């Protein structure tokens, strides 16, 4: 079985990437292949990287307050490019009602400040195990 491939991306003008780097390192240390996009990525750049890198997961770090624009746009572009089996997840400063709205669109679990890296690693692993089991069925 190949390693889980994760793209950690920082969309928009948000210049704070410490959390994204911590998550990227935690996923890498858990045995996943991690691609970090760097700062100031457009949704188009993120989705193109996801296609080129053949990732299983796209994780967005959004602290700018633009999550209700960025997550839906990335999801829309992923679907347009045929990435229906790639999970979109992420985190940031996200109100509960926005998390629920994004989940209704098909975005995976979203994580707020203070979430342990172990919880995020566990979530990604479990989601990929479910995906793999469904593919075998």
Q: What is the DSSP string of 32-72?
A: -EEEE--SSB-HHHHHHHHHHHT-SEEEEEE-SS-HHHHHH
Q: At what angle do helices 96-105 and 67-80 cross, to 10 degrees?
A: 10
- Per domain, the residue ranges of the chain are 5-136
pTM of structure: 0.96
Residue pLDDT, tens place only, 92-125: 999 999 999 999 999 999 999 999 999 999 999 9
pLDDT of residue 15: 87
Q: How confident is the model at residue 1 (pLDDT cuts 50, 70, 90)?
A: low
For residues 78-99, average pLDDT: 96
- CATH architecture classification, 5-136: 3-Layer(aba) Sandwich (3.40)
For the stretch 6-64, pLDDT in tens is: 999 999 888 889 999 999 999 999 999 999 999 999 999 999 999 999 999 999 999 99
């Amino acid at each position: 079985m190949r390693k889980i491939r994760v793209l950690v991306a920082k969309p928009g003008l948000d210049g704070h990437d410490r959390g994204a780097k911590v998550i990227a390192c935690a996923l890498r240390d858990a045995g996943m292949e991690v691609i970090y996009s760097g700062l100031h990525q457009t949704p188009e750049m993120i989705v193109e990287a996801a296609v080129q890198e053949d990732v299983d997961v796209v994780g967005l770090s959004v602290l700018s307050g633009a999550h209700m624009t960025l997550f839906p746009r990335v999801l829309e572009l992923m679907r347009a490019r045929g990435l229906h089996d790639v999970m979109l997840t992420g985190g940031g400063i996200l109100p509960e009602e926005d998390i629920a709205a994004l989940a209704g669109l098909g975005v995976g679990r979203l994580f707020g400040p203070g979430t342990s890296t172990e919880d995020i690693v566990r979530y990604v692993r479990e989601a990929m195990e479910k995906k793999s089991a469904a593919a075998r069925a």
